Structure 1
Amino acid sequence: MIGFVFPGQGTVRVGMGGWLRRDPAGAAVVARADELLPEPVSGLCARGPLDKLVDTLHAQPAVTACNLAALAVLRERGVEPEVVAGHSVGEVSALCAAGVLDVDTALRLVATRARLMADLPTTGGMTAVLGLTLRRVEELAAEAARPGEPLVVGLENASDHAVVSGATAAVDRLAALAGEAGARKVVALKVSNAFHSPLMAGALDGWAEAVRGTPMRPPRVPVVPNATAEPTTDLSTIVDALIAQLTARVRWTETMGVLADVETLVEVGDSKVLAGLLRGVGVRCVSTADPAAVRRLRRPEPAA
């Protein structure tokens, strides 16, 4: 059994997608992204500048273009998934892999998501907390929040790796509290706002309209949405979860548990972040960021 996982915008870096742009199948997808997106991404991925690349407006389309380029390379080799999941904006790439969206539609939808989120006033931030249990981080987030200054766990990346998201002042208070509580590391993320938190509510109506107005097909394989961490082939459930994901928690720890028994997991994109998280829970995952790993992947032999 083969599973595909797709990284999100936190994995962007200058130089990303280099080998994918040299592969004919990958290059065709990146060229198509340059045609469709409001601003071409190939040059930005290759040369930056970094401050522009990490901006939400550009980061989400850039990582999606690389994800879909990697997917095209695998498809060219006859490698298809039997279950898919994506981390944050990577979920849109996962839906493409499952056959819910075609490449053009996925790129357009991500461009809309990025614009809606980038247009919100910058009132919040995100900080990773490592070395504390999820329950302890939730307690500290509740302690740091104030009326009008929400703070929640936005991402569960591992049992001892949570990312809090919310009002800037609350994030700052949380950082101090986490240090006092014995966190191994507290790292402010380089993001423009508080993703997967109530502060994204201003984009929710526009996002829901965009998602519900997008042509979609029932998935060919199960999808594990971020908002539920439960495999499903029900299209209405997938749509609702994709909408909810904008303000809801990314339940990646639970998702990794769901995928733990998959024989071959592949991180599809130019990133090894998800492969690293999976290794941390004892699950092997290869990455298409390593061309040699891609060459070793083979089309499954048909059952006798």
Structure 2
Amino acid sequence: MDAPNPNPRPRPPRPRIAFTFPGQGAQHARMAAGLYGVSESFTSTMDHAFDAFGPAGRTLREGWLATVPPADFDDISYAQPLLYAVNCALGTMLTECGLRPDVLLGHSVGELAAATLAGVFSFDCGLRYLSEYVGVYRHAPRGGMLAVAAGPERVEPHLVPGVVVGAVNGPRQLLLSATEEALADVEAALRGAGVTCSLARARQPFHHPVMRDVAAAHAGSLTRPPLHPPHTTLYSACTGQEVTDELATDWQFWTGQPAEPVLFGPALEHLLSDGPYLLVEAGPGQSLTALARRTPAVSRGEATALALLPARAGGPDADVEAVRTAMKQIAGHGCDALSPDF
């Protein structure tokens, strides 16, 4: 029998855990629906959301579970309440499985889920706010967002009036925002210049200054539930920095976000600067994981990014198997053994 090693190799320190939450554009038919009725935690959170939305909750639930989603699934009335609920349900499921995040970061409406998990406002307050938010921003002009695989210097010569950079997701990953006509014009100009671009799944010009006018005209429709300093480190894709207690408790910060650009790329770079990190995308799809894997920190092995769910809806067991696989990967990075509630 071999003698025990008197100098065993020390176990590497556990990386810090960061949950990331996607926003508008990540929604797809039956996103995370394979967990509904399987995970007690996930199901309970989703049912709570549908009940809180009142009569609209039944419509949201039916649209979410439909194999073929309704025609307006990408509209704010469907996409954003469902994204908020699914993000929160997945984040809650993970924490109840024993995985406690050290940092939370969301993209656009995903930032509301991050703030909820950080304790800035309750899930009920977030649901009420989203319900009112939809009522306000349905008055926005028709428009959308264009994903562009280029940096600002390549894009700027082709920007037509009314088009703004709505999100900076990485060095060569931008989202342009505009009303319908201007968006079509800039898409044609960029394609003509050989720039790769594609329409994002949005029907309103989020993160465009026009949203300030919409909010100003309908601000009275939004309540101001109590806000609290975050109990978990919270990064903002609106500022690109860590959220201070003062900022977290300022409702103008939250209500102003639809008109401000998303700085997810800079926020992620700043977050990863004090690694090592394990990034877990706790939302539908794998868009944020793909962005994270392009960062220098992940390329150098100083951080790891993994997604909880498949890139798109699959077979009836795809979501369950993806979560089980992700849990094993997380455990392999020095975290305590985790097991989902199914």
Q: Give the % identical residues.
A: 26
Q: Hey, what does 2:173 align to over in structure 1?
A: 161
CA contact (8 A) 1:17 1:66 kept: yes
Specify the SS of the correspondent of 2:293. helix
Partner secondary structure for residue 201 of structure 1: helix
Out of 256, 264, 276, the residue aligned to residue 244 of structure 1 is 256
Which protein has the larger Cα radius of gyration, Structure 1 or Structure 2? 2
What is the CA-CA distance between 1:103 and the residue it aligns to? Answer: 1.5
* Cα-Cα RMSD: 2.3
Aligned to 2:233: 222
Q: Which amino acid aligns with 2:172?
A: D
Superposition TM-score, scaled by structure 1 size: 0.87
Tell me which of 196, 200, 219 is aligned to 1:189. Answer: 200
Please tell me whether residue 24 in structure 1 is matched to residue 40 in structure 2: yes
Q: Which has the larger displacement, 40-49 or 206-215? A: 206-215
Q: Which residue of 2 aligns with 1:90?
A: 110
In structure 2, the CA distance between the partners of 1:108 and 1:262, relative to structure 1 (3 Å rule), is: farther
Task: Calculate the TM-score normalised by the size of structure 2.
Answer: 0.78
- Residues 219 and 300 of structure 1: CA distance in aligned 2, closer, same or farther (over 3 Å): farther
Specify whether residues 258 and 175 from structure 1 end up closer, same or farther in structure 2 by C-alpha distance, changes over 3 A only: same
CA separation of 1:267 and 1:63: change in aligned 2, threshold 3 A = same
2:64: which partner in 1?
45
Deviation per residue, 1:223-271 (Å, 9 max, x gap): 2212210112324356343233111100011012023235211111222
How much has 1:11 moved relative to structure 2? Answer: 1.1
1:288·1:294 contact (CA, 8 Å) conserved in 2? yes
Alignment equivalent of 1:119, drawn from 139, 154, 179: 139
Match of 2:91 in 1: 71
For the residue of structure 2 that corresponds to 1:5, the secondary structure is strand
The whole-number CA distance in structure 2 between the counterparts of 1:210 and 1:75 is 33
Match of 1:81 among 56, 80, 101: 101
Gap regions ≥5 residues in structure 2: 1-15, 299-303, 310-321, 337-342
Alpha-carbon offset, residue 213 of structure 1: 1.0
C-alpha separation between the residues in 1 aligned to 2:180 and 2:129? 28
Q: Please tell me whether the aligned partners of residues 235 and 271 of structure 2 are also in contact (alpha carbons under 8 angstroms).
A: no
- Change in Cα spacing, 1:78 to 1:243, as seen in structure 2 (3 Å) is same
The residue number in structure 2 matching 1:258 is: 270
Name the CA distance, whole Å, in 2 between partners of 1:135 and 1:238. Answer: 36
Larger helix proportion of the pair: 1
Change beyond 3 A, Cα 1:20–1:187:
same
Q: Does the aligned pair in 2 maintain the 1:20–1:70 contact within 8 Å?
A: no
Q: What is the identity, as a one-letter code, of the residue corresponding to 1:169? A: E
- Which residue identity is paired with 1:194? P
1:274 pairs, out of 269, 272, 288, with 288
Amino acid at match of 2:106: G
The answer (yes or no) to whether the contact 1:222–1:233 under 8 Å persists in 2 is: no
Deviation of the 1:45 alpha carbon: 1.3
Is the alpha carbon distance of 1:139 and 1:226 closer, same or farther for their aligned partners in structure 2, counting shifts above 3 Å? farther
Q: Are the counterparts in 2 of residues 200 and 247 from structure 1 also a CA contact under 8 Å?
A: yes
Does the 8 Å CA contact 1:92/1:106 hold for their aligned counterparts?
A: yes
Number of residue pairs matched? 292
Aligned equivalents of 2:182, 2:288: Cα separation in 1? 28
Q: Cα deviation per residue 1:68-117 (whole Å; 9 max; x = unaligned)?
A: 11012112112121111111101100001111122211222222222221
Q: Indicate which of 115, 119, 128 corresponds to 2:147.
A: 128
Give CA-to-partner distance per residue, 1:281-300, whole Å, 9 cap, x none: 25322222131244334595
**Within-5 A mapping of 1:283-298:** 283=298, 284-289=304-309, 290-296=322-328, 297=330
Structure 1 moving runs of 4+ over 4 Å: 206-212, 298-301
Q: Which of 17, 28, 33 in structure 2 is aligned with 1:2?
A: 17
SS of 1:31's equivalent in the other structure is: helix
**Residue 204 of structure 1 aligns with which residue?**
215
> Runs of 5+ in structure 1 lacking a partner?
none
- Equivalent pair of 2:208/2:261 in contact (CA under 8 Å): yes
Pick one of 102, 117, 121 that aligns with 2:122. Answer: 102
